[in-house]
Amino acid sequence: MMPDRVHVLIASPLEADLAARIDAVDPRVTVLYEPELLPRPRYPADHTGVPREMSAGQLARWSRLRRQADVSFDFDWLDPARMPENCPRLRWVQATSAGVGAFMERAGLADSQLVVTTAAGVHGVPLAEFTLLGLLYFAKKMPTLASWKAARHWQRHASGEFAGTRVLVVGLGGVGRQVARLLAAAGAIVTGVGRPGRRYEVPGVSEVVTTDRLDAALPAADALVLACPLTSRTRGLIGAREIALLPRGAVLVNVSRGAVVDEAALEQAVASGHLGGACLDVFTAEPLSATSPLWGLENVIISPHSAATVTGENARITDIFCDNLRRWLDGQPLRNTYDRAEGY
């Protein structure tokens, strides 16, 4: 039975007006929001921030807030792994990330009884825009133009054309669907890659193949876009063998997780010229080491895991949370519930 009063802890940096929106969802809701106890955000929608130097009194206040929480907006910035102990009343956490499987494993929360919902659907459009940017960047020979500009060199040339590009999109969830829609609208011929035994109807996708047929689909792809969650099935999905199956000059875009692709094999393929380029938002280890060869490759776009972060992100996550909070109060199923068995 739902209690008369539901205490919602804001556990990571959030704007005051968005905290007020959460508080206004229902008279039964009390928001526990003390921004002076939260890390200082470095940029809009920074869910990590810079931790403050907390006095003993402030730490005690944060401890009291955690003990009151029935619901948490994001994981505890101070000690996420011990949320089941530090938040004894806690039943549900609304994450600010779409992919939480790896985090749940690292934090030791994968086997906890907490209900976790994700921000799936929030990041699809910006990641699709980043994907299109990367593919256009290489189609229009921007690395060459940048080098010519630096050398003040004028030379007429012929560039490629994105329309008609054959793109293989791995992962047909919220991100993959937005990627497929935008690329198809720009003239690409999109083939989607999904899991065996599932039915997919995705706007913009001309054909769907399953992961067990990935090898057969790779040789026909001008570009490979990774938009799948990181699970035991997708870890290391694209290695040296799969990259070798792509035609020479193909472009790889990764807006998934770094561990989906063998980074060393990717580096070698770009350096050798087998891959025409790579557009990367995620890496095996983050931050990317200053010694990584990827930094020195002109045909590699490096984004510091920020392609999904836009100024309106927190408002969109708050939209999902407010809808879920109403569902929670009314005893209805929640959106974007994390599936422990599937890992996303």
CA-closest candidate to residue 160, choices 126, 187, 129, 131:
187
Catalytic residue among 274, 305, 316, 340: 305
233 carries an active-site annotation = no
305 carries an active-site annotation = yes
313 carries an active-site annotation = no
Catalytic residue among 85, 105, 161, 286: 286
Instruction: Give CA–CA dist 97/47, Å, rounded.
Output: 9
Catalytic residue among 47, 242, 257, 313: 257
Can you name the residues that pair with 277 across neighbouring β-strands?
Answer: 251
Q: For every residue of the chain, which 3-state class applies, written as one string?
A: CCCCCEEEEECCCCCHHHHHHHHCCCCCEEEECCHHHCCECCCCCCCCCECCCCCHHHHHHHHHHHHHCCEEECCCCCCHHHHHHHCCCCCEEECCCCCCHHHHHHCCCCCCCCEEECCCCCCHHHHHHHHHHHHHHHHCCHHHHHHHHHCCCCCCCCCCCCCCCEEEEECCCHHHHHHHHHHHHCCCEEEEEECCCCCCCCCCEEEEEEHHHHHHHHHHCCEEEECCCCCCCCCCCECHHHHHHCCCCEEEEECCCHHHECHHHHHHHHHHCCEEEEEECCCCCCCCCCCCHHHHCCCEEECCCCCCCCCCHHHHHHHHHHHHHHHHHHCCCCCCECCCCCCC
Please, which residues have CB within 8 angstroms of residue 291's CB and are 6 or more apart in sequence?
A: none
Catalytic residue list: 257, 286, 305
